[in-house]
Structure formats: C-alpha cells, structure tokens
Structure 1
C-alpha cells in the first residue's frame, strides 16, 4: 500500500456530529495518536474534525435521493455520481482499512460502493447502529414487532417508518439487493454496538459473517458530575427544591414522549419533569407542567442537566444502545429504562433499574424510591460503572486492535 503510514477511511452520514459522528471522530483520534492517517467521508452534517474530511455529494443530490426514495422505496440506490466520486477519492488515498458506519441517509449508492469494495482488497469493518442493513425497508422493526426479515421481507407493514415510502413497496427487492451486496465481501467484519443487535444479526442473512460486539463509549472527562447549576436552573425556570426527572432524545420518535405525559399525571408536584430535544410541535403537545427544552449541541448544558437530575428516565420503545444512558450515569445519575433492545445493557449493579415497556406506574414507584433514598446512594456506583466499562478511549481502542488484527 505504499507509504509507511497506515490509513483509515471511515464513511458515515455525519462527521463529528450526533452520536455516530462522534464515535467516528473518537476512533479517528485513536488512530492518529498511533501514527496513522485518518479520513472521514460524510454525507450530511459536520463539525470541525481532527481527521481529514471529505463531503460526499451535495445538498441537491441528497434532496433528489430523498424524494426518489420516498416515492419508490429505493433508498440507497440513488446518488450514483456522488458515490463514483467517493470511489475516486478512496482510490486516491488508498486506505488500509475502510470502516463503514451509517451508509443510509440519502447520500450513497450501496451497490456501486460494494462492487468497488469487493474488488478493493482491504479489510472492511462495518459498525451497525440500527437494523437497516438486514431488512427490506426499515431501520427499526421493534415498535411494530415485525419479524419478516428473519426469512424474507415483503408486503412491508412499516413503510411509513424511516426511510419513509409514500407510493411503492420495494421491500422484497431491497431485501434481495442488500443480501446480495452485503454478503459479497470476503473480508468483512460486522460490529454491532449491543449484544441485542448481535443476536438479531445472528438470525438474519448476515449470520455467516464475522461478528464482534463493541459497545459505544463516551468521553468521561466531558461527562462528569457538575456542581454549578444555578445558571441552568434560572434559564429554564427549573425549581431546585423539587425532585428532577430528566428525559433526553435527539429525536423523540418512538422514544416515549407520551409516557412522560402519563408519568406527569402520576407524580405529584414535588417532581419536576424536564425533557430535552423537543421540536416545536412536541413543545406545543406537552402539558404546561413539563419543562420542554429544544435540541441542544451545548454539551456543558447537557452535563449540568444530567448532574442536576435525581433520576434519568429513558422510556424508549425502539433502541439499539442509547448513549444517553451512559452520559447520565457518568454524571452520577441513576437511570430507569424500558426493556427495549440493548438499552438495559448499560446498567450495572446499583446504577439503575429496568422496567417493561409501558409500565409507567412501576417507573413512578422507582422514581419515588430514588428521591426518598437520595441519589447519593447511587452516584459513585454510576460513575465507576461508566469509567470501567464504557470509557470511549477503552472502547475505541478495541477498534484499533481489530484493525491491526485484520491487517496481519
């Protein structure tokens, strides 16, 4: 491969933006620290990065891909020119490892990419953050309880879910196309980010592939207990004398907003419910006595909110491995989550509780118990658990070790 520096190229919908983009950024930092070169090719949004960035396609291409996909249910089959240009870029840098993350999101043509990857003889690592890779349409099927993907997708009951299709149902053919392309590489390693997702993959057409689970990690220097919360309390009119129940989502679709509204009716006014990540419509939807905060990229605010809360409640109905659970515990706050996907996998001894989906009464009892005992009882265990098992430096090192193993 020419130069003595090893080169990593990651491909993701975002660069250093949102949870997957931050994971790619963190992996890039690790390889840079070890004398490699790091490149990230991204489709849509970015923040400045330590890696060299390459923007795939354009806003126009993405819009076109989105519209065609919505009409014909052929997500991932447009953006041909953008993908051919990406391939020229890959050939110009000659990476030793190609690491895929989310390749869906209206910016990439997967048949063209996979045809290239099957000829380009470098190892490919693919981190799976959802289920899109092995279904004929959706990225998540949990909410509607569909299991067609285990045999063969057709007559999709989930067409209105992302990536939404308004006219056609191409799920049978999408399933065929993906199975053909995604099983075509000789040197592919799939990395689900939860044990739950690994179990799903093992029941799909990808079950013969090399599969290794690596849980997501977070920046434990960034997410740590913060004491000074006066400013935040004033800014959002949060009553410091009440017990604070916090909920956070970057997108509240299937993440339990209705459950928080029900919880509000159960808990008395000694409890303040604070929700982050609401869009304008959702802010109108919630009752007056819930504090709604729009999505924030301000990490310092988030850290203060996590640290101020008595308990973090994550009533998600569809999830793979939510990092908000980790962030809350890293700030010393115990969590309650539904038994959904990989969400319970974050919880260790004395760091939180798992309840069945929709069991809001039970969640309310636990919230009362925590506020009675005081969160101090849980704070150290929460912090230590994240430092031990979900520190991003340790987790991303596992990717670097995997790369070196694959290059041997």
Structure 2
C-alpha cells in the first residue's frame, strides 16, 4: 500500500499531524510519502517539497485581486503530478489544500482520472465555503446553499474582490463524485459538514492527538524568569492572536482580576501586539521552543482559551497534558476536550464567568488528559485502521 499525504506546511498543527502519521506508517512498513508546498526542504526520498517560493507569492497576489485561492500554482502542481505518476499512490490523504501552493483543478482532475481513494482531514471549513476558513464570528450560513456577497473577503485568504459565488460552485463540482472519506477532528465540524455539499461522503471523527511524552508536567523556573513571585499564572497560547482568538477578552479580564493574586501571560503575540499590551500583562512572542512552551503550561494555574472561532484546538490538549485545567468558550470543537473535572466551558464573551471560575480550578499537577482519546498514538492508530480497511475493501 502506497499512501501520499499533502499539506501546505510540514510543521504547524496540521503539518505535525501529517509528519507524525508518516512516521507511524513507516514503522508499520507502509510505503508512505509526504508532500508540502511551503517551508523547509525535503530531506529524504519519501518527502516532496514543491519548492516554488515565487509561485506562492504570485498565488497570494493573484488571490488578492481575484479571490481565487487554489486556482493558481499551475507549474508546480504539474510537477507534483509527474512525481505522483511515478509513485502511483493507492491512497492520497489531503490535509490543508489552501495556502497559496497548489492548483486544485489539476490535482482533483488527476485524482478523478486515476480513481484514487482519498482521505481528507478537515482542519477548518475552507473546503465547503466560497471564501472563508471560519464563519462563526459573523454568523454566516450562506455556505449551506451557495455563497455570495461575502462579508469576510478581507479575512484569510485576503481578497479585494468577491468571487465567493463562483468559488462555492466550482468547489462543489470539483469535490463531488469521487471516492472520498472525510475526517474531522471533532464532532462539531462533523455536524457542520453534514449540512454542506460534502455530506455526500462518509464523515468520520478522529480527534487530534498530541505527543504526551513531550507535553507533560515539568519542573520549571518560569515564575523566577518573569518575576511573577507567588501569583497564579493565567495562561493564553495561540499561534496568532487575531480577533477570533479572543485577545480582547484577556484585556477585559485583566481589568477585573486581583493583580496581587493573578498574572496573565499571553504567548504568541506579535512584537506590535506586545508593545500595546498593558504593563500588567506579560506578552511572549511566538516560540518554536517546545520545551519552553511545556514549562509555561506546567507553571500555569489555569489555561484560558477565549476563542470565538475554532476547530479542535490542540492548545487545550497540551495544557491538560501538563496538568493545567482549561476554561474555554462554547466554540467549535473546543469544548470536546474539556470534560467535568478538568475545566469549564462558558458562553462566548463571558469574561465575568472566567473570573468566577478561576478560584475553583483544579490544583494538582497530574495529567488531566484522556490519553485514550487525545494522545498521538490513539489518533495515529485510528488513521492506520482506516488505511488498512480501505486496502482490504
């Protein structure tokens, strides 16, 4: 069995899942290959880097003035198809196919002509909308019957015109009538997709998993490094603090807390955001040092995730694995990892509710994560089972 996975990066959340699954397949003697369009160069014969930095830039520029993400990068995608013809995959496993790196009509035409089995993990909602990756913040439901007059065209993937109606119909035609199994990382997205044009396919839930050998409680000197003293750390972590991640709610919470007892620490801010934070909040720019992140989780008394749009945030899992309880909003799949005894789920915007729950948070530093559901091993074994079942059918 030959399996090829495709994603925009070989790192970040979806990329880490792809690379981890690749390693698991190799360990099981499955002929596994990974493809990505942006980031580092390939280091083995089983990796394929599309290597088209100029093409990525032009694709992004094309999107700005056409709103047609996924319809450029022609030459690099043709080179990819030539490579795929040599591999002759039995299964193609798609992850994020947006991100300015691949031409979808060319890729899906190849899949259709070769009758290839596809597994498609949905890391957001982009595949079934006319433009956006998420729509909860604006309460839009046009994606159910046909997008038009998009009010979010200036959000990622940013465009100065609106082609949402055309995009929605093109995606519906392109993604229909194939041998696809959809995988979502949470029940929320499964329920949403069952209302989209992709409901023609079987939709399975496989929760994202994390490496519990890495994410676990560790002794640390975080409070000494940041001169926090005996205060309880209220931690927030995001890859980027956009409006949908709830930075404004941390600012609101900071006005309510007792600063003699609590210290808010926010990880992942830009230098510009850090400069505008009040002096009572410690802002830390994005770190690629996993050890540092684990120590921050371990030092925190509470992890707060006030997200307004999300799929299934692994930050919740990482905090729980380090023994830190979670407070999050009833947003997307975020509540699905926060069961009784490990945190609280509140309505969006309930900053006062966050303040009230903080003193009741669980204090032990034993792992609060359900490894049977949310470990990397549990996730990978479920994917491998899908592959093997597909091979046998």
Q: Fold-level match, TM-score > 0.5? A: yes
Whether 1:344 aligns to 2:338 is no
- In the TM superposition, what are the counterparts of 1:12-161 in structure 2 within 5 Å? 12-15=7-10, 17-46=11-40, 52-161=46-155
Query: Aligned partners of 1:259, 1:50: CA distance in 2, in Å?
Result: 44
Equivalent position of 2:204 in the other structure: 212
Whether 1:262 aligns to 2:252 is yes
Equivalent position of 1:8 in the other structure: 3
CA contact (8 A) 1:238 1:272 kept: no
CA displacement, residues 324-380 of structure 1 (integer Å, 9 cap, x when unaligned): 00000000000000000000001122011001000000101111222xxx611xx44
Query: Aligned partners of 1:234, 1:298: CA distance in 2, in Å?
Result: 19
Query: Aligned partners of 1:238, 1:303: CA distance in 2, in Å?
Result: 18
Whether 1:183 aligns to 2:158 is no
Query: Aligned partners of 1:238, 1:128: CA distance in 2, in Å?
Result: 41
Q: What SS does the aligned partner of 1:91 have?
A: helix
Aligned length: 390
Note the residue ranges of structure 2 that are not aligned, 5 or more in a row: none
CA displacement, residues 121-142 of structure 1 (integer Å, 9 cap, x when unaligned): 2211000000000000101111
Quote the RMSD (CA, aligned, Å). Answer: 1.4
CA displacement, residues 171-228 of structure 1 (integer Å, 9 cap, x when unaligned): 000001000011131x11110111000011000011111111111000000000101x
* 1:51 to partner: Cα distance: 7.9
CA contact (8 A) 1:25 1:50 kept: no
Whether 1:404 aligns to 2:393 is no
CA displacement, residues 218-241 of structure 1 (integer Å, 9 cap, x when unaligned): 0000000101x12x3344x14130
Query: Aligned partners of 1:120, 1:13: CA distance in 2, in Å?
Result: 23
Equivalent position of 1:165 in the other structure: 159
Equivalent position of 1:285 in the other structure: 276
Q: Given the two structures, how large is their TM-score scaled by the length of structure 2?
A: 0.97
Whether 1:325 aligns to 2:313 is no
Query: Aligned partners of 2:316, 2:330: CA distance in 1, in Å?
Result: 13
Note the residue ranges of structure 1 that are not aligned, 5 or more in a row: 1-5
Q: Is the alpha carbon distance of 1:50 and 1:335 closer, same or farther for their aligned partners in structure 2, counting shifts above 3 Å? A: farther
Query: Aligned partners of 1:301, 1:162: CA distance in 2, in Å?
Result: 29
Equivalent position of 1:3 in the other structure: none
* 1:117 to partner: Cα distance: 0.4
Query: Aligned partners of 2:80, 2:212: CA distance in 1, in Å?
Result: 34
Q: Given the two structures, how large is their TM-score scaled by the length of structure 1?
A: 0.93
For residue 394 of structure 1, the aligned residue among 378, 385, 390 is 378
**Runs (4+) off by over 6 Å:** 47-51
* 1:53 to partner: Cα distance: 1.7
